[in-house]
Amino acid sequence: MSACIYKPWSTYLAALLAGCLSTLSFAPFHFWWLGPLAVALMYLGHHQLSTVQATLHGWLFGIALFGTGTSWVYVSIHDYGYTGVPLAIVLTGLFVAVLALFPAIFFGLYRHFTSSRLAFLSFAGTWVLAEAFRSWAFTGFPWLLLGSAQVDSPIATWAPIGGVYLLSLIVALTGTLLVEFFRRRWWAVVPIAMLWLAALVMPGQWTHKAADPLRFALIQGNLPQLDKWSSEGQRNALEVYARLTHELPINADVIVWPETALPMFANQARPYLERLQASLPPGTALLTGIVQGDRDEHYYNAIIGTGAVQGEYRKSHLVPFGEFLPLDSMLRDVIDFFDLPMSDFSAGAESQPPIFTHDVAIGNAICYEIVYPDLVAERARNAKVLLTVSNDTWFGRSIGPLQHLQMARLRALENGRYVIRATNNGVTAIIDDQGNLRQRGPQFEATSVIGEVTPMTGLTPFSRVGSWPTWLLAALLVLPGIRESILRRRTYY
């Protein structure tokens, strides 16, 4: 049937369904097996579409995926950005529509430049290239990558080898091969079985114990966000974190407070922290997220320490519109959301040494940085433990914080490192080197999470080389379809 007379409505509906199914594959739903089905729905009718139709097909998938999967953006804009409901809906819709352009552009280009020959390979490769580009362009948004949902699936053992993008590629190939199988191409079951059964015999341990475990205590203050930066909010933060620290039932080697735990500058908090440190058992280290300022009036989202701590960390990958404002002079005075407290940070250096405590190197990622697989892999190369402090209060009781935790678990598995995650109101957790939750605190409660963390040494294949081999493989899978398309065009003309 010619693409010009093909009625694509069922294909468009399938794209919307595929986007919704993709969201259900992620936390907090954890239906990871829906990932291949979502890809299959997208692949099923895509080659009957024209280039324009294929672009719309990809855009509708993106609308459904990001509309359901990043709905937490509305909470941040409306509840904490002092923005009315109509404008919050418009801004959230604009955010979703822009993100949906990534699958739209890539699947439109795919339909225009590739043929149906070996389409099951080239479609899967295109999927991964679209995710990789979205993770990089305009500082990147590596949220809802298809492979992130697979941290509890049988193919999770591929993660230390190729990271989240290799998981995405395996899921995408599984989806396209399923369609070929149901088209009575029975051979398709063989590569599916190979990809999934091979995961069962993969090495389960790439790294090994480097030192005796340290006891970590993570403090979750559950401070209200809206009045946090007021004078009363500052006094409340000082009281809550001191009380929870002194109420710890056992001594800890390292105590961790979350991102911007104390709503004040580091130079203001330092005397208080030193007095608190003096009341702790000898040898105890205290790490906290805080705002640093310098003489040039630059502000940094940072981690500092007292006691048995050497070094500090300044966040290097900032969140657009949250921590810095593109087109600042045009937007900041127009919409209140763009004038939130502490929304004008400077970026720390791209390469920073780890923080040391008890002779253990700790690699750091503040909040959103933990979702960048290659950034975390770079930190893991020089560290025995990974630490991420966060403040997911901005996203309320939405699915956002649980998605954030899921990605932190995958970073632990990719790099064979324990990940310590301290947050203001959840999910505070200790994640082992296999991506398993060892200890987890309840959300929306002032509490502490205590557990042992084993420093690990050795590097996984992913930690050594990062994502580029998978990106290269994805590009190579697209090439046969492009070559066939070029040959056919030459023959036609």
Torsion of CA 357, 360, 366, 371, to 10 degrees: -170
Interaxial angle between packed helices 400-415 and 373-380, expressed in degrees from 0 to 180 and rounded to the nearest 10: 40
For 78, 234, 263, the CA distances from 81, given in Å and listed in that order, are 5, 20, 18
Closest CA to 115 of 398, 385, 432, 487: 487
The torsion angles phi and psi of 154, rounded to 5 degrees, stand at -60, -25
> How far from the centroid of its chain's Cα atoms is residue 231's Cα?
33
Give, as one character, the DSSP assignment of residue 81: T
Cα angle 338, 342, 346; round to 5: 100
* Active site positions, annotated: 259, 315, 367
Q: Is 470 exposed, middle or buried (0-12, 13-18, 19+ CB in 10 A)?
A: buried
Q: Are 158 and 196 in contact (CB under 8 A)?
A: no
Provide the terminal-to-terminal Cα distance of the chain, rounded to the nearest Å. 22
Closest CA to 22 of 6, 38, 9: 38
Cα angle 157, 316, 393; round to 5: 75
For residue 324, what are the β-bridge partners?
320
For 113, 325, 415, the CA distances from 332, given in Å and listed in that order, are 41, 8, 39
Judged by DSSP in three states, 388 sits in: strand
The torsion angles phi and psi of 352, rounded to 5 degrees, stand at -130, 145
Q: Are 364 and 355 in contact (CB under 8 A)?
A: yes
